[in-house]
Amino acid sequence: MKRLAKYVFRYKSNLIAAGLFGLLMAFCNLVIAAMTGMFVGVSTGKSFSEIGLVKTLTDFHLLPANLSISPDKLTVVVAAMLFLIAIPRSLCMYFNNYLIAAVTGKIGADVRFDMYSHIHSLPLKFFHKSRIGDMLSRMNNDVGLIQNAGNIVMMAIDGPLMIILGLGRMFMICWQLSLLTIVVIPLMAGGIGKLARRIRTSTTVSQVKLADVSSTLEESIRGIRIIKGFGMEKHEISRFGKVNKKSLAATLWAAKKASVVAPMTEFMGSASVAALMLVGGKLMVNGVFSFDVLAEFITLAFMVSSAFRNLARLNVQYQQTMAGADRIFDLLDTKSDMYDKPDAKVLTDMNAEIEFKDVSFSYNPGEPVLTDISFKINPGEILAIVGPSGAGKSTIADLIARFYDVSEGSVTVDGNDLRDVTMASLRKYMAIVPQETILFSGTIAENISYSRPDATREEIIASAKDANAHEFISEFPMGYDTVLGEGGVGLSGGQRQRIAIARALLRNPRILILDEATSALDAASEGVVQDALDRLMRGRTTVVIAHRLSTVTGADRILVLDRGEIAEQGSFEDLVKAEGVFSALYKTQFKVRDNEQQ
């Protein structure tokens, strides 16, 4: 709760103001109770000076002893006061509710922002091991739970205020009955506390199962083409149904636990008020106080009982809130093992000479992906990396971008170990064109300028022209201001890739990484995209991760990986003649095609 309190007390001025309005509401409730007693007194034919509240005020010299009002006028005065007191009470209730809603909304926004910021600080391996649906559930469902924190604080203020002020007035009326009230409250609190503690566990389970629903939904939407392509709609519906039922069962279990508290507090509160009425009635018969005083006391008892019931519900909300907070802070406590050293160097220029020195790497201990890799890429050189699937090609690209740190050895740029330079300054001189083109919701111009948000429209258009994208962009009615759907829906694969190339060109990088940038394209699109890539690679240190060997014929040097080791390296022609791994790949991809053409 201490960590959550930091978010709550950022808005202490709003909370103080809401507390003051809560205090005014409590005073208004006391006045309403007093007016109820007075009205009962008038109804039973008492004179003004005989009414219990008037006697109390007279004893404290707050009213003159000889003050007198006729019964007719007194009835009008009491009715008018009951009506008039409702106006400030309603206004106080409005401002109290609005201020609490403002605080809870701001808390939710702050927590979401901190979670989003923290997620972006985490390394790639976190995202490889985590489910997107679970993260979304934490940012939406769990944050929704902890937004009760501001409400909890105010209920913790408003409730005790009413209880303290109400009990104070009740002691002034009859200390014997008030003592009975004080005895009953702890008994109620003990039973409710035991129930509320179980709610936290059930709420946590419910949130976990709800995250499973989000994850299943997210997976289905992302894989909808595969699902439809294999006719697996019924299977996915069945799978979702099972997850959904488990979520429902967990939700009902949590609701069952939480639902017990309200009727229990209602029953115990009503029972305690009934006991007060029974004892109070006997005291009234014995002449300890009059009926109008008993009416005021019982009214106050109902108000105090209602405030206590709110506190009981507060306990339920508290346990639910902490269940959500546990999952949120579990994410926020996830530490990144990728960080800049305190004395890390900021790169201000780059020749872009890259060298791997005895590099070994594994994602999981005991499962090496790369073993004793050593090679150098000269400034402006195009190095292609090829090999069978799982050979470690993309891992090398990830190490150059420092998405991961090496397990052994070092990767250097211009002689600087990547671990000794800031990641921001390294990536400032780098651009990546991946196999799966990532476009964001927004206009085409915004997607191209994502690599340089301050770029002018002229620079954006120039990059698009170099990427062979200007022509098809100009055909859209809105041109560069065309709004793209999620992930670039509405564009072909080749068009999306050319926008990604334009984005990389606008960056004007010194180091360029092409991670199988044309492997998903057809032959016609590949030609247009390859022409744009050739223009992009010109004069830059380029690493080409390739599956199609047709894309590496123009490379200055080719590095062949096999099972995490360098099997061979050299020019395209030399490797074809070497009868090694590359030659085998070549024969598979090209010789068969040549035979077909013959």
DSSP character string of 33-44: HHHHHHHHHHHT
Which residue type does 444 have?
Answer: I
116 CB burial (10 A radius; 0-12, 13-18, 19+)? exposed
**What pLDDT, on the 0 to 100 scale, is given for residue 419?**
93
> pLDDT tens for residues 392-407?
888 999 999 998 999 9
**CA-based Rg of the chain, rounded to a whole angstrom?**
37
**What pLDDT, on the 0 to 100 scale, is given for residue 456?**
93
Alpha carbon of residue 224 to chain centroid: 25
> pLDDT tens for residues 22-64?
888 888 888 787 777 766 666 665 655 566 566 666 666 666 6
Place of tokens 């604080």: 153
Phi and psi at residue 512, in whole multiples of 5°?
Answer: -120, 130
In contact, 416 and 347? CB cutoff 8 Å? yes
pLDDT for residue 365 is more than 80: yes
Residue 340 to residue 42: CA distance in whole angstroms: 79
> pLDDT tens for residues 188-207?
655 555 665 666 677 777 77
Record the tokens describing residue 156, joined without a space: 């913790």
**What pLDDT, on the 0 to 100 scale, is given for residue 543?**
92
Angle of the 148-173 helix axis to the 175-222 helix axis, nearest 10: 170
Residue 29 to residue 36: CA distance in whole angstroms: 10
Within the chain, all domains assigned CATH 1.20.1560.10 are found at 2-332
In contact, 549 and 386? CB cutoff 8 Å? yes
Residue 398 to residue 423: CA distance in whole angstroms: 13
Superfamily of domain 2-332: ABC transporter type 1, transmembrane domain (1.20.1560.10)
Residue 363 to residue 392: CA distance in whole angstroms: 11
pLDDT for residue 121 is more than 90: no
Q: What is the bridge-based pairing of β-strands 557-562 and 511-515?
A: unpaired
Residue 584 to residue 169: CA distance in whole angstroms: 95
Residue 123 to residue 111: CA distance in whole angstroms: 20
pTM here is 0.72
> pLDDT tens for residues 65-97?
666 666 666 667 777 777 888 888 889 888 888
Count, residues in the chain: 598
User: Which segment of 142-151, 240-249, 373-382 scores lowest on mean pLDDT?
Assistant: 142-151
What proportion of the chain, given as a percentage, has pLDDT over 70? Answer: 79
Alpha carbon of residue 531 to chain centroid: 42
Residue 484 to residue 476: CA distance in whole angstroms: 11
Which residue type does 102 have?
Answer: A
Residue 326 to residue 447: CA distance in whole angstroms: 37
Q: List C-alpha distances in Å: 270 to 180, 276, 303, 329, 556.
A: 14, 10, 11, 40, 87
pLDDT for residue 597 is more than 50: no
In contact, 31 and 123? CB cutoff 8 Å? no
**What pLDDT, on the 0 to 100 scale, is given for residue 249?**
84
In contact, 332 and 355? CB cutoff 8 Å? no
Within the chain, all domains assigned CATH 3.40.50.300 are found at 379-393+424-597
Residue 130 to residue 115: CA distance in whole angstroms: 15
Record the tokens describing residue 148, joined without a space: 């009760």
- What's 287's DSSP letter? T
pLDDT for residue 266 is more than 70: no
Range among 213-217, 262-266, 422-426, 524-528 with highest mean pLDDT value = 422-426
In 3D, which of 445, 437, 533 has the Cα closest to residue 491?
437
Cα angle 546, 221, 231; round to 5: 90
For the domain with range 379-393+424-597, which CATH number is right: 1.10.357.10, 1.10.3710.10, 3.40.50.300, 3.40.50.150? 3.40.50.300
Record the tokens describing residue 395, joined without a space: 């891992």
pLDDT for residue 379 is more than 80: yes
Residue 70 to residue 525: CA distance in whole angstroms: 98
3-state SS record for 172-237:
HHCHHHHHHHHHHHHHHHHHHHHHHHHHHHHHHHHHHHHHHHHHHHHHHHHCHHHHHHCCCHHHHH
In contact, 581 and 562? CB cutoff 8 Å? yes
